[in-house]
Amino acid sequence: MMWCQLFLLVANAVAQKSFDGRYTIMNTVNGRRISSSQSGFRATSRTAPITEEHLWRILPQENQSHIIVNAANGARILAQGSSQWDQGFFAMAQGPVYQDQKWQLQFQEDGSFVFRNVKSGRRIMASGDEKSQSTFGAVPPDTSIDRMQTWWLINQDMDEAARLRWEVQELAERLAETEGSTRDLEAAVIAETAAKSSLRAEKDAELSRLGVELDAQRKLLAVTEEQVQGLHFLLWMIFLSFASLVPWALRCRNRPAKKLPEASCEQAEDQLAGQGLGVDFGFRVLDSAGAHETLRLVKIQCPGVEHRDVEAELLFNGCQITIRRRASQGVEAATWTKRFEFPVQDGLFEFKEDQMRLEHGFLHLVFRAYQFQSRVVRFPKHFALSETDADQWWDYPDGDEKEPKASVVDRTESTASTSAKA
């Protein structure tokens, strides 16, 4: 209650004081200034420069009222009775002073004023900016008071407090806007950084995936190359096998085929079938076709065997091998015998004993393929003295009629001639 009474006393004191000098009337919310010029009666923006048309004199009237007179052209602000806040509100410089030209200045707690018309009760208000003409006018008396109806009175001749207060407020608003922009910028930067991090993570994941796929492709390529090399080796072995069969095929072409009994063929195949290398006394039979001859190689694995432990008995189209391995440290004694008899349909093979060798625990046997050559054998021609009786050679040399001219030499020539004739 005490504060209310104190405020009323201050308000009455301010209302009764005389406003000496010229004032700019500036809205406390948007900073717009009331102006009256040849362009019209309006509220300019806060950024517009202050001219004479922005200066007003506040002249006291009866009943604590005042008239507001423009310092440049003497126009007085008035507000006629109307329900439309932008109608009947203007400034005029002629005629007597009527009640609708008088205003009561209602002091506010922040030091601003509300201009209330004595006759119509309308209050001056400005909202928005200068571009919207309808935002400057006088609101009806039943409208509630808000901040856009409060105005600073700035004495341009001596009072700078209100202007400085407005500038401080404007600076605070700009600072708030700047802080808001800064926060928005920081948020944008953070969002952009997060987006870049996410994109970088996606790129790293994509690169990792591509790297895994590339490794898989490389491994597949390596396996493919190994398979191709194996295929090349297999094709080469097949070629060598066919090449080794060509001489045998040519041999068999000119002779009738001799078919062995099925039991003999199976027995021969079982005879040459081994467990393969990698075990004691395992063996392999391989064919090798060279430029001039075809060889059949037998390779027997026999670790711990010396030359004196090997005995080879020659057979038709093969041989029988006997190996007597003596016991040594970590090696047991063993006796192993194997007959290598090759089927006749494979061709004839001659055992090459000069090429038999024992190296690094392997016994190597070499058989050379050969072709049986058929030929006719006859006795050589023998000399007979009776064959010269029919040549009619009876001439004798002079002085010796008893002996024929033909001597042993003659017989030899006769024999030679007979041989040539034959």
Calculate mean pLDDT across residues 58-70: 94
pLDDT of residue 104: 94
Backbone φ and ψ of 163, nearest 5°: -65, -45
Looking at per-residue pLDDT, the higher value among 318 and 157 belongs to 318
**Which stretch of 18-27, 143-152, 174-183 has the lowest confidence by average pLDDT?**
174-183
So what's the pLDDT on residue 273?
Answer: 56
The band of 164, judged by pLDDT with boundaries at 50, 70 and 90, is low
Question: Three-state SS across the chain?
Answer: CHHHHHHHHHHHHHHHCCCCCCEEEEECCCCCEEEEECCEEEEECCCCCCCHHHEEEEEECHHHCEEEEECCCCCEEEECCCCCCCCCEEEECCCCCCHHHEEEEEECCCCCEEEEECCCCCEEEECCCCCCHHHEEEECCCCCCCHHHEEEEEECCCCCHHHHHHHHHHHHHHHHHHHHHHHHHHHHHHHHHHHHHHHHHHHHHHHHHHHHHHHHHHHHHHHHHHHHHHHHHHHHHHHHHHHHHHHHHHHHHCCCCCCCCHHHHHHHHHHHCCCCCCCCCCEEEEEEECCCCEEEEEEEECCCCCHHHEEEEEECCEEEEEEEECCECCECCEEEEEEEECCHHHCEEEECHHHCEEECCEEEEEEEEECCCCCCCCCCCCCCHHHHHHCCCCCCCCCCCCCCCCCHHHHHHHHHHHHHHC
How many angstroms separate the CA atoms of 170 and 168, rounded?
Answer: 5
Is the pLDDT at 290 greater than 80? The verdict is: no
Average pLDDT over residues 70-93: 88
Q: Where are the domains of the chain?
A: 2-159, 262-370, 385-421
Q: Check whether 85 has a pLDDT greater than 80.
A: no
Instruction: Work out the average pLDDT over 341-365.
Output: 92
248 pLDDT exceeds 60? yes
pLDDT in tens, 260-279: 344 444 444 455 556 678 88
Residue 324 pLDDT exceeds 50: yes
Given a cut of 80, is residue 162 above it in pLDDT?
Answer: no
Q: How confident is the model at residue 350 (pLDDT cuts 50, 70, 90)?
A: very high
pLDDT in the model for residue 257: 43
Let me know: does 96 contact 116? Beta carbons within 8 Å.
Answer: no
Spatial separation of the C-alpha atoms in residues 181 and 170, rounded to whole Å: 16
Q: Higher-confidence residue: 84 or 197?
A: 197
Q: Please report the pLDDT score of residue 16 as a whole number.
A: 52
pLDDT confidence of residue 20: 85
Res. 188: pLDDT tops 50: yes
Confidence band for 306, pLDDT divided at 50, 70 and 90: very high
CATH code of the domain made up of 2-159? 2.80.10.50
Q: What is the pLDDT of residue 258?
A: 44
Q: What is the mean pLDDT of residues 219-245?
A: 87
What's the pLDDT at 70?
96
Going by pLDDT thresholds of 50, 70 and 90, the confidence category of residue 256 is very low
Question: What average pLDDT does the segment 68-89 reach?
Answer: 88
Share of the chain above pLDDT 70, in %: 76
> What is the assigned CATH class of domain 262-370?
mainly beta
Which of 309, 318, 285, 409 lies closest to 358, judged by CA?
Answer: 309
Residue 377's pLDDT band (boundaries 50, 70, 90)? confident
What sign results for the dihedral spanned by CA atoms 263, 264, 269, 272?
Answer: positive
**Mean pLDDT across the chain, nearest whole number?**
81
The mean pLDDT of 123-127, rounded to a whole number, is: 92
Res 23: pLDDT: 94
pLDDT at 259: 43
Is the pLDDT higher at 65 or at 387?
65
pLDDT at position 17 is: 59
Q: What percent of the chain has pLDDT over 90?
A: 42
Residue 175: the pLDDT is 84
